[in-house]
A and B are shown apart, each in its own frame.
Chain A
Amino acid sequence: MNQLFLQTVWLIPCYPLIGAVLSALWFPGITRLTGPRPAGYVNAILTLIAFLHGILALSATWNQPPLQILIPWLKVAGLELTIPLEISSVTIGVTVLVTGLNLIAQIFAIGYMEMDWGWARFYSMLGIFEAGMCGLALCNSLFFSYMILEVLTLGTYLLIGLWFNQSLVITGARDAFLTKRVGDLILLMGVVALLPLAGTWNFTELATWAKTATIDPTVATLLSLALIAGPMGKCAQFPLHLWLDEAMEGPMPGTILRNTVVVSTGAWVLIKLQPIIALSPVGVAAIIFVGAVTAVGASLIAIAQIDTKRSLSYSVSAYMGLVFIAVGTEQTETALTLLFTYAFAMSLLVMSVGNIIWNNITQDLTQLGGLWSRRPISGMAFVVGAVALVAVPPFGCFWSMLKMCEHLWNDGNWLLLVVLVVNGLTAFSLTREFSLIFGGKSRTAMTARSPELHWPFILPMVILMGFTLHVPLMLIQWQLLPAWANINIVVAGLLIASTAIGFGSGVFVYLNDNFAKPVRLGSQAIQDFFAYDLYTAQLYRVSIVFVVDVVSKTIFWIDRFLVDGLVNFVGLAAVFSGQSLKYNVSGQTQFYALTILVGVAGLILLLTLPILSRLSLIVSG
């Protein structure tokens, strides 16, 4: 029976896709009377089916060798495009994670999207996301992964733009689409360039090829840089990170998905491409550089935000930076583990914050406060999410980060410092958020009355909290935890120390009434620099946007005046000549007679020219 589920594992992406299509039935323009709620229920049920299918298939594939399913797609001269599906415990595990988180987010959305008429569109988008991500997990081909990434980019655009009557939503969705699109397009260059080199897009075959490949170093460098660019945009890495900040304008349940799994799609592709990127030392250096700069920069920015959602979104960039570092230092398995542990923690954090925002209305950290006594469940969820995100034993991310740090320690790599700093800064940032939301006393009327919410908010959050708490047990079950004897005490100590310093200083600054709030650094300029996200928006505006704008205006001008003008000139010349030559028709009969005469004379002259010239020769002798 389970074998049947294993064989039909390709159905998992199809369920949410069916849900996405069915949702359309409840568009307000189609179902005019009874409201859009069934769209949500149908999608949640289909997600549940996908989740259960995934679980059953996972149990069947456990400790089994990976299975390949080939689905023919297109066969043209010289190119055979077959969709290869890899059915292994890892890929099915990812679909289970994706569908599970989707199920939780969709139940959360049943509560959150109360008093909203856009359920059909919203759930339809969630369905497309879920289908895309499951498809990406199963798909074992770079080409089809790229296709799915593009579909997800479009999905992001539509999902962020759900409430399109808000101007910031429009600009946010625009930036999210264009920024990710740029990365994807450069990735496409890499994808296309890879085929003549490797002759395949199958990830497994690519890895085999990369082992023995000898290609020109320049080619390898360009190739790996192009392959990095796609995930860079997807994972909101510097300098393509602004979109994630602006994507916080979208609906909260979508944010849960985006911050945890959608940004991970880029990392997933990056992990699979690691053998090819490793062909070029420059590519590896670039990936580490980008990851390190993003990790440190984004965690600093996260501390300086006053918007709850944005503060979390920069932590997302920072953790994706850590994944980049892990991939750069050839720890693909650690990167996968980190993605796994991170996804639970971050979605719990976002969900907790969503619970707070829903009935306190404001997202401004300076307006919140003193909610711990009245919002214990949300507060607990935030705490669990926070400790699971930073390195606190025995929670999830500690183990993945420990693994990463041990590896870096053994290499004597300076990146260890980066990881420690990011961990400390994130701990500080989360403590700051926690203290400003839950700690202290109610600062404004926004939090004066704030009851805990009803079941669609609390139930998924508590279930997720349970999962998050069980992550270490799962890791034990899958033998991903190191044996006690093998733990490097120094590294573990350093990690815990960095967390403790982060938490401690956060508590000291923000839960301490003697410390003046709002906190002022010595220099306002530095504070603003981070609060305004290193002025990235302005940076885009004066660099890329400016250049593209000037170039397009110039081209428009050339088209409008030179190209069009040339053609219009021909027409105008014809009109002008017609208008002016008509005056030859003078209405004077005598003038016509003269014209005839001149014509005849001219013709005669022309015909007799040879004779005349001979005549003149004779005359002149």
Chain B
Amino acid sequence: MHLQLQYFLLLGAALFCIGIYGLITSRNAVRVLMSIELLLNAVNINLMAFSNFLDPVTIKGQVFTVFVVTVAAAEAAVGLAIVLTIYRNRDTVDMEEFNLLKW
């Protein structure tokens, strides 16, 4: 079996879907952040795949990936800080408890 671009893309898409599923269904706020990491990683896979197959000379995709990883780290840090702040106030990380801003 020869590795093709489509397989990577499908893997990325699958990972993205799993991330989305986790993002929407998780009740734990930390797991939501984890799902976001999954999404970003799915994106990274796409970027790496495109960079490999379509742009093997200048590999701009890999540069993008480096940026995404960096930003994802920063975002996770901020995200965890937010979760911690909420936890301090409300003593819970249950997403279903955070529904104060409704109608």
Give A260 Cβ to nearest chain B Cβ, in Å: 79
Q: Which residues of chain B from 53 to 103 have any CB-CB distance to chain A below 8 Å in the complex?
A: 95-96, 98-103
A594 contacts B101, C-beta separation under 8 Å: no
Asked whether any CB of chain B lies closer than 8 Å to the CB of A593, the reply is yes
B99 contacts A597, C-beta separation under 8 Å: no
B24 contacts A587, C-beta separation under 8 Å: no
Residues of A within 8 A of B26 (CB): 590
CA distance A426 to B103 in the complex (A): 87
Partner of B100, one of A583, A587, A594, A597: A587
Residues of A within 8 A of B32 (CB): 590
A590 contacts B95, C-beta separation under 8 Å: yes
Are A583 and B103 CB-contacts (below 8 A) given A588-B96, A589-B98? yes
Give B6 Cβ to nearest chain A Cβ, in Å: 16
Residues of A within 8 A of B98 (CB): 587-589
Closest to B32 in A: A590
Give B101 Cβ to nearest chain A Cβ, in Å: 5
Asked whether any CB of chain A lies closer than 8 Å to the CB of B40, the reply is no
Q: Which residues of chain B from 10 to 69 have any CB-CB distance to chain A below 8 Å in the complex?
A: 20, 23-26, 32
| From A583, A585, A587, A597, residue with most partner B Cβ within 10 Å | A587
B102 contacts A594, C-beta separation under 8 Å: no
CA distance A81 to B55 in the complex (A): 96
Asked whether any CB of chain B lies closer than 8 Å to the CB of A582, the reply is yes
Asked whether any CB of chain B lies closer than 8 Å to the CB of A586, the reply is yes
A587 contacts B102, C-beta separation under 8 Å: yes
Closest to A586 in B: B102
CA distance A384 to B25 in the complex (A): 112
Residues of A within 8 A of B103 (CB): 582-583, 585, 587
CA distance A254 to B103 in the complex (A): 73
CA distance A111 to B92 in the complex (A): 100
CA distance A590 to B103 in the complex (A): 15
Residues of B within 8 A of A586 (CB): 99, 102
A594 contacts B24, C-beta separation under 8 Å: yes
| From A588, A590, A593, residue with most partner B Cβ within 10 Å | A590
CA distance A586 to B24 in the complex (A): 14
B23 contacts A587, C-beta separation under 8 Å: no
Give B68 Cβ to nearest chain A Cβ, in Å: 20
Closest to A581 in B: B103
Closest to B102 in A: A587
Residues of B within 8 A of A587 (CB): 98-103
Residues of B within 8 A of A589 (CB): 95, 98
Residues of B within 8 A of A585 (CB): 102-103
Residues of A in contact with B, size category: 10 to 19
Residues of A within 8 A of B102 (CB): 585-588
B100 contacts A593, C-beta separation under 8 Å: no
| From A588, A593, A594, residue with most partner B Cβ within 10 Å | A588
Q: Which residues of chain A from 554 to 589 have any CB-CB distance to chain B below 8 Å in the complex?
A: 582-583, 585-589
| From B24, B25, B95, B100, residue with most partner A Cβ within 10 Å | B24
CA distance A583 to B102 in the complex (A): 8
CA distance A211 to B95 in the complex (A): 101
Give B19 Cβ to nearest chain A Cβ, in Å: 11
B23 contacts A588, C-beta separation under 8 Å: no
CA distance A586 to B99 in the complex (A): 7
A577-612 Cβ-contact flags toward B at 8 Å (1 or 0): 000001101111110011001000000000000000
CA distance A43 to B92 in the complex (A): 97
B24 contacts A597, C-beta separation under 8 Å: yes
CA distance A590 to B25 in the complex (A): 7
Residues of B within 8 A of A594 (CB): 24
B20 contacts A588, C-beta separation under 8 Å: no
A588 contacts B100, C-beta separation under 8 Å: no
Give B14 Cβ to nearest chain A Cβ, in Å: 16
CA distance A108 to B24 in the complex (A): 100
Residues of A within 8 A of B99 (CB): 586-588
Residues of B within 8 A of A590 (CB): 23-26, 32, 95
Closest to B23 in A: A593
Give B35 Cβ to nearest chain A Cβ, in Å: 10
Residues of A within 8 A of B24 (CB): 590, 593-594, 597
Give B8 Cβ to nearest chain A Cβ, in Å: 21
Q: Which residues of chain A from 378 to 425 have any CB-CB distance to chain B below 8 Å in the complex?
A: none
Give B99 Cβ to nearest chain A Cβ, in Å: 3
Give A587 Cβ to nearest chain B Cβ, in Å: 3
CA distance A465 to B23 in the complex (A): 113
Give B97 Cβ to nearest chain A Cβ, in Å: 10
Give B40 Cβ to nearest chain A Cβ, in Å: 15
CA distance A597 to B102 in the complex (A): 20
Residues of B within 8 A of A583 (CB): 103
Closest to B100 in A: A587
CA distance A586 to B20 in the complex (A): 19
CA distance A483 to B78 in the complex (A): 130
Give B88 Cβ to nearest chain A Cβ, in Å: 19
In order of increasing CB-CB distance, the 6 nearest A-B pairs are A587-B102, A587-B99, A582-B103, A585-B103, A587-B101, A594-B24
A-B contact pairs, 27 of them (CB 8 A): A582-B103, A583-B103, A585-B102, A585-B103, A587-B98, A587-B99, A587-B100, A587-B101, A587-B102, A587-B103, A588-B95, A588-B96, A588-B98, A588-B99, A588-B102, A589-B95, A589-B98, A590-B24, A590-B25, A590-B26, A590-B32, A590-B95, A593-B23, A593-B24, A594-B24, A597-B20, A597-B24
Other than A582-B103, A585-B103, A587-B99, give 19 A-B pairs with Cβ distance below 8 A: A583-B103, A585-B102, A586-B102, A587-B100, A587-B101, A587-B102, A587-B103, A588-B95, A588-B96, A588-B98, A589-B95, A589-B98, A590-B24, A590-B25, A590-B32, A593-B23, A593-B24, A597-B20, A597-B24
